[in-house]
Amino acid sequence: MSDNQTTTDVVVLGMGPGGEDVAGNLAAAGVSVVGIEAELVGGECPYWGCIPSKMMIRAAHLLAEARRIPGVAGSSTVTPDWAPVAERIRAEATDNWDDTVAVDRFTGKGGTFVRGRGRLVSANIVEVDGHQYSASRAVVIATGTTASIPPIPGLADTPYWTNREAIQTAELPRSIIVLGGGAIGAELTQVYARFGVDTTIVEALDRLLPLEEPEAGDLLAEVLRSEGVNVVTGTGATQVSYDDAFHVTLADGRELVAEQLLVATGRRVDLDRIGADAIGVDPKARALPVDEHLQVTDGVWAVGDVTGRGAFTHVAMYQSKIVTAAILGEPHTPADYAALPRVTFTDPEVGSIGLGAAAAREAGIDVLVGRAEVPSTARGWLHKTGNEGFIQLVADRRRGVLVGATSMGPNGGEVLGMLTLAVHARTPIEELRSMISAYPTFHRGIEDALGQLA
């Protein structure tokens, strides 16, 4: 080790859920690991993503449930207050955006922590503020994503929010325009509406949740409209300006005005910033190319959003197990994303896995579709208010297995669990049909959908 160089077994660049897990596992296994993080150990998920957003959703859900009391359980008066939500995010979720506990967890396992922005110098050297960290066994890139900001004229000069400001705000605006009808945009839209914010969501494609089965986005739009949201689809923003309010001009000529604007139009990998050309990767590529062992090139692995295989914490954690085993030289199963579940935590929740019906047909599969409406199941019917949803199964007729499924409804993400197992284990449909599902559960609706496979 010289003054400006440290030699170690492994360098982990970026300590979000993926990097933190790999670095911690390797350190716990006795490997010498340097973990480098420019912001907060834990990354987007605990500080500006999954966890605080789900706290917001939990609070919004309570408001909605309270409003559903009339006609079922008495009467209710609901007075939303953002203060406890903001305080819970500050104190319980993020420790006031302080990562001391996470850093200590890593160093407690024997890891060496470096705060700073790293850049690849070669396949085994990462530089931070002029100091080089040289890895004798592996470099793991886990630098994640940031909010992707579309090049809409005027937008860059306005004080718009990304997920960062949306999560950190102590107060809600009176009105908001949400650009982007994907999972993040849809979830936050519903939170705002339920807290009494005058909310518009704009999705340039034909429907909300464009990656899901079309029926899911359509039904979600219906639910959001019933909660007072202005849902605009099939037209994008062409101009944004700001005076004392945001003015968003749409492609169809309409103008929207609101106190705040949230940009939720996807996530972006920045390979240029990490010096990807030093390992022979085009810095303009959309993601780091990895093989099924998550290897980029000799001695370099990647995990998480930066691999472009699904921007979910559970993908980062799944990949982390593989990379840890690969670096330790332990046997492991190569990555397979055929049974990758995803959940949009709106109410109703939209859980899905594998292929949608159209994608399965495009893939040349002889498709059977089976569907059950949640309100027509025993549990959905008795649930009554707030029971919107459906279960849709996509089967491969020839192989007799499910290749995809959507479970939208109350606890739709939980119902997805059984469907995840079925797709993952390629359980024969006949086997699924012979199961006994408890009455009257929401997941019993899967039996009805199996009966409809045709």
Binding site for ligand FAD (CB under 6 A): 13-19, 36-40, 43-45, 49-50, 53, 117-118, 142-145, 163, 184, 274, 304-306, 311-314, 316, 345
- Amino acid at the residue 29: A
**Which of 142, 402 has the CB closer to ligand FAD?**
142
Nearer to ligand FAD, 294 or 450 (CB): 294
Q: Closest approach of Cβ 422 to ligand FAD, in Å? A: 21
Judged by CB, which is closer to ligand FAD: 269, or 395? 269
Least spacing, CB of residue 26 vs ligand FAD, in Å: 15
Smallest gap from Cβ 27 to ligand FAD, in A, equals 16
Our CB check for ligand FAD shows the closer of 17 and 380 to be: 17
Minimum distance from residue 447 beta carbon to ligand FAD (Å) = 28
Instruction: Give the whole-angstrom CA distance, residue 299 versus residue 50.
Output: 31
Q: Which residues contact 173 (CB under 8 A, 6 or more apart)?
A: 197, 258, 259, 260
* Integer Cα distance of 139 and 301 in angstroms: 6
Nearer Cβ to ligand FAD (13/360): 13
User: What span, in angstroms and rounded, lies between the C-alpha atoms of 149 and 237?
Assistant: 12
Nearer to ligand FAD, 160 or 369 (CB): 160
Query: In 10 A of CB 121, how many CB atoms?
Result: 15
How far, in Å, CA of 216 to CA of 230, rounded? Answer: 18
Which C-beta is closer to ligand FAD: that of 13 or that of 339?
Answer: 13
- To the nearest whole angstrom, how small is the minimum distance from the Cβ of residue 342 to ligand FAD? 8
Q: Cβ distance 11 to 139 under 8 Å? A: yes
Contacts of 15 (CB under 8 A, 6+ apart): 23, 35, 36, 37, 41, 42, 43, 102, 106, 142
Cα gap 110→125, rounded to integer Å: 21
Report the distance separating Cα 80 and Cα 74, nearest Å: 19
If the CB atoms of residues 19 and 445 are measured against ligand FAD, the closer one turns out to be: 19
- C-alpha to C-alpha distance for 420 and 201, rounded to whole angstroms: 30
| Shortest reach from residue 438's CB to ligand FAD, in Å | 27
Kindly state the DSSP code that residue 190 receives in the 8-state scheme: H
Task: HSE, CB side, 13 Å, CA atoms: give it for residue 410.
Answer: 18
CB of 116 to ligand FAD, least distance (A): 7
Q: For residues 228 and 250, what is the distance between their CA atoms, to the nearest angstrom?
A: 20
Rounded least distance, CB 252 to ligand FAD, Å: 28
How far is residue 273's CA from residue 135's CA, in Å, rounded to a whole number? 20
- As a whole number of angstroms, the distance between CA 148 and CA 265 comes to 6
